[in-house]
Amino acid sequence: MPTLSFTIIQTKLFWEDKDANLSMFEEKIMAIKERTEIVVLPEMFSTAFSMKPKQLAETMDGPTVAWMKKISSAKKIVLTGSLIIEEDGKYYNRLLWVLPDGKLGYYDKRHRFAFAGEDNEYTAGHKRLIAQVKGWKINLQVCYDLRFPVWARQQSSDTPEYDVLLYVANWPERRSHPWKSLLMARAIENQCYVIGVNRVGDDGNGIHHSGDSMVIDPLGVTLYHKQEEEDVFTILLQKENLTAAREKFPFWKDADNFRILEDE
């Protein structure tokens, strides 16, 4: 049975300072000694969670996307994380999935955090992205999406739609209990691994982030949890354990069939 390795980078971010953030992440990524296949950065990793897209947005031909391609190629990894992208006069909180050969996929954050005004500055995405690596399927989502279980729900009763549910985030410490609880719930209800990667430290608005990055197995057991501290952690996921959990407890077969009606 195949395995898949993820490296989680939980770190402080420099407020709206792309050069400082990219330099910091490059140092951390290039220092990874363990064998790893996918490296995960937090939400808006190059700027932190800013509501100034007009000043900070880049295009898909911009320097941060070029940097991601460079690092992915040099380290021979899939590199993923979200950043601010401008396209056709609109701004997106866009999660990129960058392959070592320069090819990429992307997911635009569906649920914008209206409490912080994200809905006023950014355009919502309408399509999920389920990436594939070595026979594994990974459902890519961003922060606030975690509160909306329908958007993450396995949509097939014939066979599970994906194996890993991945969230990148800038989730405040004051709401860390929902973060941890919902990550666990998403794992249990979808019978998949769940990975949540969050930042630590205070942002430019004085909001504190405790990290609480987690990896949870398909039965809801926590395999990794780091609070407050910066950390670079590599974990090897076992397809055999996933298959065994689904075969022993085939709850996914009894799920309700449904279809998400996407907005135009």
Active site residues: 43, 109, 143
CA distance linking residue 31 with residue 70, whole number of Å = 15
Pick from 90, 97, 80, 98: which is nearest to 43 by CA?
A: 80
Q: Classify 22 as helix, strand or coil.
A: helix
- Do 188 and 60 contact (CB within 8 A), yes or no? no
Q: 236: closest CA among 5, 79, 35? A: 5
Q: What letter would DSSP give residue 60? A: T
- H-helix or E-strand containing 210? strand 208-216
